[in-house]
Amino acid sequence: MENTSSQPNPENILKIGSGFMACKVLLTAVKFKLFTKLSAHPDQTAISLKKQLDLNCSDRHFFDFLDTLTGLGFLTRTGMLENAKYSNSMDSEVFLDSKKPSYIGGILEMMNARLYGFWDNLEEALKTGTQQNEAKHGVNVFEEIYKDPEILETFVNGMTGVQIGNFMAFAKQFDFSNLSTLTDAGGSAGYLSLMVAQENPHMHCTSFDLPPIGPIAESTIKKFHLQDRVQSKSGDFFNEPIPSADMIVMGNILHDWNEEEKILLMQKAYDSLPEGGIFVAIENIIDEDRKQNIFGMVMSLNMLIETVGGFDYTFKDFCCWGEKVGFKSFEIMPLAGPASAAIAIK
Ligand SMILES: C[S@@+](CC[C@H](N)C(=O)[O-])C[C@H]1O[C@@H](n2cnc3c(N)ncnc32)[C@H](O)[C@@H]1O
């Protein structure tokens, strides 16, 4: 991103400054289920797609929409304008067809429905330090989100979309041979537990989360036919002990809370682990130089929008908090894209 040539160049400034337009084109295509439709019926003309989507813009503007998606790498095209036929690009076919288990559009749906609007208030968030979402007026964000089943579903699918690649990578990369139990604290729909159980047939996993999430996790576990080795347990990790296990994972949990609460949660994990037990945080761990992991830093700003006091952090921060609660050694394992597993051993 940094311009390393000796000549000034406005390209990066304009690209990022207008980035919301390209972003909204993709989010709208996901909302229209365009990629799902093209997966079922590839090689379609703009006119046929426009009819299916029941759109009333001019053909010219719909060509602009589809060709922007093509230029951005989300569609492929043969021919031009009226004669063009559109299909999904390889990435869109795998990750944006909502009928496939590899669909990650949940996070994009959540960004469109919630974060896109809330981020309009970044200025206010920076000026006042206050959250800008459903819980703007000082209540717990989870309580507020969980009151509305539609927002709850969007939120849970969003969480799954952003983490599924990391969960799959962690389940494959980590050597579970000396472990037999795992608790995923704040486990949402249960995907981390499911990925670990699927990849490691000797593992028994518990997905632990607030009561409104229980039925969602139970139905996901049933879908995977893993009820014999994955269970959902309801509870509050601040007010109850975290269910004991050889490994306790927290995926995108620590970043929701302030430093004192982060240390308290690590302490609770420590207390529920046996000697030699392992605590893992799966998050967008920021690089020590705070320059490379832009997604991690933007997520940290997202915590300003979404939470009271939450922020993302570096591996050094993680080790420092871990040492305070008594963990003996630490490792970091890169996962998909900007995320890593920060690992602490008791
Ligand atoms: C940001 S989401 C992360 C979900 C999932 N671990 C992931 O990696 O995608 C935070 C999760 O923490 C859960 N949570 C929040 N407060 C909690 C509490 N006091 N006890 C248990 N779970 C809680 C929420 O319900 C939500 O599922």
**How does residue 336 score in pLDDT terms, banded at 50, 70 and 90?**
confident
Q: Which residue in the block uniquely carries the two structure tokens 């995108």? A: 252
Atom in ligand 1 nearest the alpha carbon of residue 184: 6
What is d(CA 22, CA 16) in angstroms, rounded to the nearest whole number?
10
Structure tokens at 116: 């896109």
Q: What is the pLDDT of residues 174-229, one digit of tens each?
A: 999 999 999 999 999 999 999 999 999 999 999 999 999 999 999 999 999 999 99
Per cent of the chain over pLDDT 90 is: 87
| 316 or 144: which leads in pLDDT | 316
Find the Cα–Cα–Cα–Cα dihedral 66, 72, 77, 82, rounded to 10°.
30
Q: Is 312 in the pocket of ligand 1 (CB under 6 A)?
A: no
Residue 315 alpha carbon to ligand 1 centre in Å: 21
Q: Is 156 in the pocket of ligand 1 (CB under 6 A)?
A: no
Residue 153 alpha carbon to ligand 1 centre in Å: 14
**How does residue 146 score in pLDDT terms, banded at 50, 70 and 90?**
confident
Residue 314 alpha carbon to ligand 1 centre in Å: 20
User: CATH 1.10.10.10 spans which residues of the chain?
Assistant: 11-95
pLDDT higher than 80, residue 124: yes
Considering the domain delimited by 105-345, tell me its CATH architecture: 3-Layer(aba) Sandwich (3.40)
Q: Is 44 in the pocket of ligand 1 (CB under 6 A)?
A: no
Residue 156 alpha carbon to ligand 1 centre in Å: 9
pLDDT higher than 90, residue 58: yes
Query: Nearest residue CA, atom 3 of ligand 1?
Result: 252
Atom in ligand 1 nearest the alpha carbon of residue 237: 20
Q: Is 253 in the pocket of ligand 1 (CB under 6 A)?
A: yes
Structure tokens at 163: 């983490």
Per cent of the chain over pLDDT 70 is: 99
Structure tokens at 122: 């970044």
Q: Which residue in the block uniquely carries the two structure tokens 């919301």? A: 20
**How does residue 167 score in pLDDT terms, banded at 50, 70 and 90?**
very high
Atom in ligand 1 nearest the alpha carbon of residue 239: 19
Q: Is residue 280 helix, strand or coil?
A: strand
Distances (CA, A) of 170 to 217, 253, 273, 317, 327: 20, 16, 19, 21, 21
Residue 213 alpha carbon to ligand 1 centre in Å: 9
pLDDT higher than 80, residue 148: yes
Strand partners, 182: 205, 247
- What's the chain's average pLDDT? 95
Atom in ligand 1 nearest the alpha carbon of residue 166: 8
Q: Is 243 in the pocket of ligand 1 (CB under 6 A)?
A: no
User: CATH 3.40.50.150 spans which residues of the chain?
Assistant: 105-345
Residue 339 alpha carbon to ligand 1 centre in Å: 17
Q: Is 176 in the pocket of ligand 1 (CB under 6 A)?
A: no
Q: Is 186 in the pocket of ligand 1 (CB under 6 A)?
A: yes
Residue 3: per-residue pLDDT: 79
Lateral strand order in the sheet of 230-234:
230-234, 204-209, 181-185, 247-251, 278-283, 340-345, 329-334
Q: What is the pLDDT of residues 227-283, one digit of tens each?
A: 999 999 999 999 999 999 999 999 999 999 999 999 999 999 999 999 999 999 999
Atom in ligand 1 nearest the alpha carbon of residue 159: 9
* CATH for 11-95 (1.10.10.10, 3.40.50.970, 3.30.70.2190, 3.10.180.10): 1.10.10.10
Q: Is 236 in the pocket of ligand 1 (CB under 6 A)?
A: yes
